[in-house]
Structure 1
Amino acid sequence: MTSQWLSYIGSINTPLMVLCFDIIAEAPAAFDHPRRTQYTPGLVRAREAPRLQAVLVRDPVYFAESRNGFCAFQVENTLFNVHQVLLSREQSAFVDMLSLPQPAKGAEGSDETPVFLSDTVQQFRDFLWALYAPPNELFVETGIDRLLNVAEMANKYCFSSLETWTIERIYALAKEPNSGLLNAAAPDVCGRILGVAILCDHQKLQDLVTQHLVSRILWYNTPPEAVLGIAEKYQLHTLIGVCYYRQLVNLERTSICRNSRAAHTAFPESIDIEKRLQFLAAQQSLLRLWEHIRSLPPTLSCAGCPSHAECELAWQLMWFQAGEIDEALRQGSADILGRMKALMLALRKAMAEAPSMTMQCKMAALEAITEIRDEVIEGLVTHFVKPL
């Protein structure tokens, strides 16, 4: 186990192998591995005026009964005592603090005057877990809450190697179909994963989670409110448009259920006048876009078709007919994607029964429909927010 631990530390930062010997030599007496630490939690009181004069408790796992080479931290009402060598192994935010000379009595970072951190106890505990955990625990960890805490803390305190490892671990879990991470996670957890991906500048994870959330909101009725906050915070225009669109469509459907003859959308009192006007304008804009789409069949790009002109004529006729079916027209005026879904289903059925259309042109037609739908999704925000 010791050789695996040193190999892991060395792969991140070679000089750390020297520092790691100090920890291993000191661990049996002072800390050992956190899970083997024997300690009965005691109570102390904070002395500094700016902090709440509340009873503090020593963390039962990450408070070593040693002073030399350790630094004490207060997080909420909990005290931690941590190896300085672990906190200094990279050019992190702790390095300058630990390098400053301190008076012998009452030095900040001691048990009596701990360094105050504005994190939560669970965040800091998970961060310390990552610093102390052996490789076999790190590489099998699948708890998304813990991994997100570690990524956020590593980013905050500039532990670049730990941040890189954690965000890559989250990405590996997210893209693994068998893990079921994104499918099983609640919308707010997916939103938090998205926020961490942006925080750590991991574009692939950001794109993956965004695509997943768009799909869940549009096609699986995931409540958009759980995601809208993170989308607006980071100005994710596609996701903002999808959330607004789903809110408007849901309002339309609620109005129709209450009164099948309603010609207007009924807004709840919680939506202010400005938002109502914004949604009403978007409703009309989306209806105009639908009328434009169904009146203008896309051109088929099909090289090598021996009867392309005949295929184009058949395609245009099928497009106009599909745009008039009841399944498309009975959708709400803002529900352009619902209308397009009905249009696509009708076109697929018509093409399957159209022997005059070659297979090449049928494939090109299906691709054209998908491209229009994707363009509509990308541009949803423009119907609600002008200009961006």
Structure 2
Amino acid sequence: MVAARGQRSTPYSMMNSECPIPLRRTLSYPGDDDRVIRVQNMRFKVNANILRAGSSAFKNIFKSQDSPVVLSGHTAAQFRAFLWAVYAHPLPTAKTLDIPRLCSIAEVSFKYGFDSLKRWSMDGIRTKVNAPNTPLRTAPSETFVRLIRLALLYRDADLSRSIQSKWLTRIHWHDLPPVPAILIADAYDLRHLLCHAYYVHLVDVSALIADGKRLMDDSLLSPTQTLHVFCGYHSLSALWRQLQETPPTFSAHPQCTSHARCQVVWAARWALETGRSWAFAPVDVLCRLLFMERHLEMDELVKSCMTEGCRREALDAIARKRGEVSDNLQHHFDL
């Protein structure tokens, strides 16, 4: 079939298996060995020699199956993206492709051991993920789930950490729901992602728990996962009550000559400010501590009645406590 004017002839063709439209002819290559591959309800007419050259898996597939070859484990859309990359010469730079297409190519390339496309697609994904204007700033949860699975599939720990960090940033900003992160992190034992996703979810549902109401997303979580949420509720609530009564301790600055006075002033202002952090959920210890640090840093009485060295030590103690809570969330959720 000759391509119409202004249209490029395609190197492979597709048709719905339920529609008896003849398959379009592939591009001609020396020694062509055209085969039909069926994926879901789509059929693709491909040049078997090109697929054999890039993958030993396809060599075995074409030996063991007559046309049409039936493939599974991926969608027709994924396989179409893969074939596009197989026949693209030269391959474009990764920045011209979106992440979903790169994911499809990487997924199918891994399945069939197409090494050249594995390297190219994963290099493109790394570039996209780590770019200053990364598309992950606006990507949906489904994209993060897909990328996490790919990073684990390719055993790329650095990529996995980068994806998790960007995902958690958006989850903590309540730009994305935490439940999808809980599900994928629990499935693959991604402890840091799991703890912080549980934390944000708990903040979202803590008022319901306090009122004894049914959790909005408990149908998505397993009974065990829901139990972890309740563990976090009781543990973090108790932690905040403890912090209200006892501020983080700080050491006397070497140049301080009246540390006892500094401690009295700090305890008094701490008690006052903890009563003002009511805008945050009682279990939101991280935000409450950040609130305390920022407000006490600007507190004029603290500035005038404490030595500068002790004031800095006290503020640093809040920051350390916040880091300690963040790093040990797994204990609060009994993970």
Provide the TM-score with structure 1 as the length reference: 0.69
1:220 aligns with 174
The letter of the residue matching 1:379 is: N
Match of 2:146 in 1: 192
Q: What CA distance in whole angstroms lies between the structure 1 residues aligned with 2:51 and 2:324? A: 48
Which residue type is aligned with residue 92 of structure 2?
E
Whichever residue aligns with residue 284 of structure 1, its letter is: H
Closer/same/farther in 2, CA of residues 247 and 38 from structure 1, 3 Å limit: closer
Is structure 2 residue 188 aligned with structure 1 residue 238?
A: no
Q: Deviations over 1:336-357 (max 9, x none)?
A: 2232222222232238962654
Give the alignment of 1:307-386 within 5 angstroms: 307=255, 314=262, 317-318=265-266, 321-322=269-270, 324-325=272-273, 326-329=275-278, 331-350=280-299, 354=303, 357-358=307-308, 362=312, 368-384=317-333, 386=334
Cα 1:310–1:215 shift into 2, 3 Å:
farther
Deviation digits for residues 281-307 of structure 1, max 9, x if unmatched? 32121122224445252546x9xx762
Give the SS at the match of 1:135: coil
3-state SS in 1 of match to 2:43: strand
Deviations 1:174-193 (A, max 9, x none): 22123x41111122222222
Shift in Å at residue 207 of structure 1? 1.0
Q: In 2, distance between residues paired with 1:310 and 1:163? A: 65
Tell me the SS of whatever aligns to 1:321.
helix
1:203 aligns with 2:203: no
Residue-pair matches, total:
325
Please state if 1:288 is matched with 2:238: yes
The structural deviation recorded for 1:65 is 7.2
Letter in 2 for 1:344: E
Task: Name which of 107, 119, 127 aligns with 1:164.
Answer: 119
Partner of 2:45: 81
Q: Select the residue among 93, 96, 111 that pairs with 1:141.
A: 96
Which residue number corresponds to residue 218 of structure 2? 271
What is the TM-score when the length of structure 2 is the normalising length?
Answer: 0.78
Structure 1 distance, partners of 2:190, 2:72, is 31
Residue 8 of structure 2: aligned partner: 36
Distance 1:208 1:150 in 2: 21
2:256 touches 2:310 (CA, 8 Å); kept in 1? no
Confirm or deny: 8 A CA contact 1:217 1:224 kept in the other structure: yes
Q: Which amino acid aligns with 1:119?
A: H
Looking at structure 1, the residues matched to 40 and 152 of structure 2 have their Cα atoms a distance apart, in angstroms, of: 27
Aligned mate of 1:297, from 235, 241, 248: 248
Gaps of 5+ in 1: 1-28, 46-53, 103-107, 256-262
State the distance in 2 between where 1:274 and 1:215 align: 26
**CA positional deviation for 1:143:** 0.9
AA in 1 matched with 2:84: W
- Deviation of 1:131 after TM superposition, in Å, equals 1.4
Q: Aligned partner of 2:180: which letter? A: A
1:71 aligns with 2:35: yes
SS, match of residue 185 in structure 1: coil
Q: Evaluate the alpha carbon distance shift between residue 234 and residue 276 of structure 1 in structure 2; reply closer, same or farther with a 3 A threshold.
A: closer
Structure-2 separation of matches of 1:71 and 1:215: 47
Tell me the CA shift for residue 371 of structure 1: 4.1
Residues 84 and 371 from structure 1, CA distance in 2 versus in 1: closer, same or farther, beyond 3 angstroms?
farther
Post-superposition CA distance 1:321-373 (Å, at most 9, x none): 335422325533322223222222223223896265447973x6665544432
Flag structure 2 segments of 5+ consecutive residues without an equivalent.
Answer: none
How far did 1:218 drift? 1.8
Task: Please give the alpha-carbon distance, in whole angstroms, between the structure 1 residues aligned to 2:20 and 2:211.
Answer: 58
- Are the aligned partners of 2:55 and 2:114 in contact in 1 as well (CA < 8 Å)? yes
Q: Deviations over 1:117-141 (max 9, x none)?
A: 3421110111111112133624442
Instruction: Give identity over the alignment, percent.
Output: 24
Letter matched to residue 116 of structure 2: S
SS in 2 for 1:177: coil
Whether the 8 Å CA contact 1:72–1:79 is kept in 2: the answer is yes
Answer whether contact 2:195 2:330 (CA < 8 A) is retained.
Answer: yes
In structure 1, the partner of 2:202 is: 248
Q: Is the 8 A contact 1:41 1:59 kept in 2?
A: yes
Conservation of the 8 A alpha-carbon contact between 2:36 and 2:43: yes
1:96 aligns with 2:79: no
